[in-house]
Structure 1
C-alpha cells in the first residue's frame, strides 16, 4: 500500500474519496440518520480541496483510504470496508503523526471502534460534549508527540 499526500484532487480521486467517505460514515454511524450524511456530501466535496488529504493507494492505483487534516485537526479518517483491519488506518495516522506535534479530532461516543482505535494510537479524551447537528455525544480526542 502506498501512502501519499495529494497535491491537487482530480475528478477521479474526488469520486473515490467521496464514495469512501459516504460508505464509511453510513457504516460507522448507524445511530445517525443516513440522510444527514447524504445531505452533507456536497459541503464535504467542496471542503476536501481545502484540507491536506493523505491517501492509501492499492497497487491498481485505487484510493482505498484517506485522512483529511485541517492544520492539526483530523477532519476524517476513512478506509474502504474491503480494506479495513489491514493496518491501513494505522499507516495513514502514523504518516501524519510524523508531520505534526499535536493532533485533535472529534469522535462520536457510540463509534466505539473509532474511539478504541484512536486510544490505541495514543489519543486521550479531552472533552465530552453533545454535537450540535446530530445531538449525539462526542469526544474531543487529542494526541501530543
Structure 2
C-alpha cells in the first residue's frame, strides 16, 4: 500500500497522545501503569513539540501512525495497534531515513518486535544503556543506520 506522509498540527497533539498510549499498551508490556501515566503528560507537553512530527492518515484524516525526529535521531515511532503490520511503520521509517536524515534510534531492549523491525530495516546495535534517558530501569539499545544496506534495500525494492 502507498501511504502519504503529512505533518501534524499542534491542535492534534491530544489525538497523537491517545495513539501513543494505545501503541505503548500493546507493545510495551514491561511498563507498569504508573510509568505510562508518568510519561503521558511529558509526551503531550514536552516531547511532541521537541521533534519534527510526521504521520500517516486514513482517508478520514485520522492519524494511524506517527514519527518524531530531532537532530538525526528517530525519537518516536508509534503505530495504532489496529494498524500494525500494514506497512505504516516502514513508510514512516523510510521517510525519516531518506528525507530527514535519520541515522540513529534508541529501542527498549524489552521490546523485541521493535528491535527486529529496526534490524530488518538497516539498523545495527552499537551500544546499550542499563537505564532509559530519565534513569528508569529500562535497558536501551542504541542503534545506528547502516546506509549501504538501506540504499541497497531501496534500490532493490
- TM-score w.r.t. the length of structure 1 is 0.90
Which position in structure 2 is the counterpart of 1:5? 7
Going from structure 1 to structure 2, the CA distance change for 1:64 and 1:27 (only over 3 Å counts) comes to same
Q: Deviations over 1:5-59 (max 9, x none)?
A: 33x421xx21221011112122211112121021121111122122100101010
Which position in structure 2 is the counterpart of 1:128? 128
Contact 1:128 1:137 in 2 (8 A): yes
The separation in 1 between residues aligned to 2:110 and 2:14, in whole angstroms, is: 28
The separation in 1 between residues aligned to 2:73 and 2:45, in whole angstroms, is: 17
Contact 1:56 1:66 in 2 (8 A): yes
**Aligned residue pairs: how many?**
142
Structure 2 unaligned spans of 5+: 148-157
The separation in 1 between residues aligned to 2:123 and 2:7, in whole angstroms, is: 22
Contact 1:101 1:144 in 2 (8 A): no
Contact 1:130 1:138 in 2 (8 A): yes
* Greater RCO, 1 or 2 (C-alpha within 8 Å, sep 6+): 1
The separation in 2 between residues aligned to 1:142 and 1:71, in whole angstroms, is: 13
**Corresponding residue SS for 1:98:** helix
Find out whether 1:43 has 2:42 as its counterpart. yes
Find out whether 1:111 has 2:111 as its counterpart. yes
Which position in structure 2 is the counterpart of 1:94? 94
RMSD of aligned Cα (Å): 1.5
**Corresponding residue SS for 1:65:** strand
Going from structure 1 to structure 2, the CA distance change for 1:46 and 1:125 (only over 3 Å counts) comes to same
- TM-score w.r.t. the length of structure 2 is 0.84
**Counting helix residues as a fraction of each chain, which structure ranks higher?**
2
Contact 2:124 2:146 in 1 (8 A): no
Contact 1:102 1:144 in 2 (8 A): no
**Counting strand residues as a fraction of each chain, which structure ranks higher?**
1
